[in-house]
Amino acid sequence: MSGRKRFFIEKLQGDVSEVYLEGEEFIHAKTVLRVEEGAEIILLDGSGKEYSAIVAKIEKHRLLAHITGSIDGDREPQTEIYLLCGALKGDKTELVVQKATELGVTKIGVFASEYCSAFMNGNKIERLKKVARESAKQCMRSRVPEIEYFNDLVGALKSADGYDNKLFACEFLESGSGFDLSRISGSTVAVVGSEGGFSQKEYKLATASGFAGVSLGKRILRAETAAISMCALVAYALGELK
Ligand code: SAH
């Protein structure tokens, strides 16, 4: 099924044999990918299933697809990986969302913190959701990571309740002194700061909330490098990159 164009649709309820593709996904199909009637496509409803379908009719604002079969997608990670990343300047948050999606992250939270100077608004969050969707299609995932925004670090840390491993990448930890990432198993949340980094107070808050400080070595990484590296390291340690 790998050569066929992939599109996300609303969650399908029950046994459905035809479905309309609408909105942005339709525009992308029609004007960018130039999908034609008779084309074989894949529809993804976020449940993890992949539906094979044939484009039966293209209308002005939607297309009708006939579903011909379904399989369970097998490219989703077995373990929950949640990235919490400080809001970054320019389009850096988009970069992180794109790469984290490729690396199999299941959820992404973006937060404001003490030394964070980037701002988020509704449009930017919508844009991040679109980036996640496009990235998920490109890397053949059948689910799109959920994206959430937190006004402060407290809310972001709270959203990590219940995860088996709670990791906090901290630039002022001495290298070698932090938590050993290779020891993890089970659902994992990784927090990475924005360009301004974290304050001592924020680090204390995180450890008091059950997070373990992680060092990424002796060099100070750019926030986007740190975020993407954390995703790769966690996914690797959990056996998700095999
Ligand atoms: N402005 C800060 C650097 C921030 S780097 C300074 O000048 O010190 C942005 C984020 O990347 C940090 O908050 C941390 O989460 C992560 N990071 C960067 N380098 C790191 C390292 N060596 N170890 C752990 N985390 C690191």
For the record, the structure tokens of 82 come out as 């949640």
Alpha carbons within 13 angstroms on the beta-carbon side of residue 115 total 13
Three-class secondary structure of residue 157 per DSSP: helix
For the record, the structure tokens of 45 come out as 């409803």
Cα–Cα distance, 144 to 152 (Å, whole number): 24
Instruction: Please state at what angle helix 223-237 crosses helix 92-102, rounded to 10 degrees.
Output: 10
Residues with CB under 6 A from ligand 1: 169-171, 192-193, 196-198, 215-217, 219-221, 223, 226
Distance 54 CA to ligand 1 centre (A): 48
Q: What is the pLDDT along the chain (242 residues), one digit of tens a residue?
A: 458 999 999 999 988 999 999 999 999 999 999 999 999 999 999 888 999 999 999 999 999 999 999 999 999 999 999 999 999 999 999 999 999 999 999 999 999 999 999 989 999 999 999 999 999 999 999 999 999 999 999 999 999 999 999 999 999 998 888 899 988 999 999 999 999 999 999 999 999 999 999 999 999 999 999 999 999 999 999 999 99
Q: Which of 101, 215, 135 is nearest to 168 (CA)?
A: 215
Q: In what order do the strands lie in the sheet with 212-214?
A: 146-150, 107-111, 81-86, 188-192, 165-169, 212-214
If you take atom 6 of ligand 1, which residue's CA is the nearest one?
197
Amino acid identity of 130?
Answer: K
CB atoms within 10 A of CB 241: 13
Three-class secondary structure of residue 149 per DSSP: strand
- The tens digit of pLDDT for each residue in 161-195 reads 999 999 999 999 988 888 999 889 999 999 999 99
Measured from the Cα of 198, ligand 1's closest atom is 13
Cα–Cα distance, 216 to 203 (Å, whole number): 15
Distance 78 CA to ligand 1 centre (A): 29
CB atoms within 10 A of CB 177: 10
User: How far is residue 186 from each of residues 32, 54, 101, 160, 238, measured CA to CA in Å?
Assistant: 40, 39, 19, 13, 7
Distance 239 CA to ligand 1 centre (A): 25
What is the phi/psi pair of residue 136, to 5°? -60, -40
